[in-house]
Amino acid sequence: MTNKYVYFIANWKMFGDLKTLNSLDKVIKFSKDNKKKKFKIIYCPPSTLIRPLSKRLKKTKIEVGAQNCHESDKFGPFTGQINSQMLKNVGAKYIILGHSENRLKGDDNKKINLKIKSALKAGLKVIFCIGETLREKRNKKTKQILSKQIQVGLKSVNNNSKIIIAYEPIWSIGSGIIPKPNDLIKSISFIKSKFVKKSPKILYGGSVNPNNIDQIKNINTIDGFLIGGASQDPKKFIDIIKKTIN
């Protein structure tokens, strides 16, 4: 993976407060020390931390993203919701959409499509998560599920240059289990085959950690990793990056 930019996207989920941001000093130093290497770090913290984190990362190459948004691109009477314009306004440059934890709470493919379009309109780059459940995998439905997620999720999105796909098999998220490299290669190549024009960048996500990164880091069709649990520990996060880029 050394000849292209490799993405390392940290999904902090609902973890972290203002104090947690101090733990990033190590990652900032690592990023500065390795500024000539071809990798990109993007932190997606809870919405409450987007503003303070963007300020803290101002003079660095590390960027900030959000984790979800409401589908409306206008202000509206939606208590507790935040739209993509608002996230952009406080410093987000990216947004994770279609994450399985939000699909479980009602984000279906159509709603995700609306969210993607509103995020693109706001000028955010979209990290679009797709992936199958264990049952779907066992029933050999993976291709069917991925096709549908891509077809509906990206309907009327004509330009893929602001889309990054994160292939996250749901059975792998937080389970400690990663796919066999050959299966992963097949799924990534299937996803790529769905794009007639240039395919978006494709990341892998699900239980990536310093102990298993060696098994998947050399799959050259993967453009990087979306990392949940391990991204909350700066040492583990840096170890994953070091092992991949060196």
By C-beta, is 18 or 177 nearer to ligand PEP? 177
- Closest distance between ligand PEP and the C-beta of residue 35, in Å? 26
- Closest distance between ligand PEP and the C-beta of residue 117, in Å? 22
Q: Which of residues 161-200 bind ligand PEP (CB under 6 A)?
A: 168, 173-174
Q: Which of residues 194-223 bind ligand PEP (CB under 6 A)?
A: 205-208
Q: Does 52 bind ligand PEP (CB under 6 A)?
A: no
Q: How many CB atoms lie within 10 A of CB 3?
A: 7
Rounded Cα–Cα distance for residues 130 and 118 (Å): 18
Which pair of structure tokens corresponds to residue 147? 């096709």
Q: Does 228 bind ligand PEP (CB under 6 A)?
A: yes
Q: Which of 71, 99, 101, 132 is catalytic?
A: 99
Our answer to whether residue 70 is catalytic in this structure is: no
Q: Which of 63, 132, 136, 168 is catalytic?
A: 168
Residue 172's nearest CA partner among 222, 131, 119, 201 is: 131
**CA distances to 34, 160, 192, 193 from 197, in Å:** 33, 9, 10, 10
Position of minimal CB gap to ligand PEP: 228
- Closest distance between ligand PEP and the C-beta of residue 42, in Å? 12
Rounded Cα–Cα distance for residues 192 and 36 (Å): 29
Instruction: Check if the beta carbon of residue 208 is closer than 8 Å to that of residue 170.
Output: no
The stretch among 21-29, 55-63, 132-140, 225-233 that binds ligand PEP (CB under 6 A) is 225-233
Q: Which of residues 71-100 bind ligand PEP (CB under 6 A)?
A: none
Instruction: Check if the beta carbon of residue 189 is closer than 8 Å to that of residue 146.
Output: no
Q: Is 122 helix (H, G, I), strand (E, B) or coil?
A: coil
Residue 89's nearest CA partner among 42, 54, 116 is: 54
- Closest distance between ligand PEP and the C-beta of residue 230, in Å? 6
Q: In the complex, which residues of this chain contact ligand PEP (CB under 6 A)? A: 11, 168, 173-174, 205-208, 226-230
**What amino acid positions are annotated as catalytic residues?**
99, 168
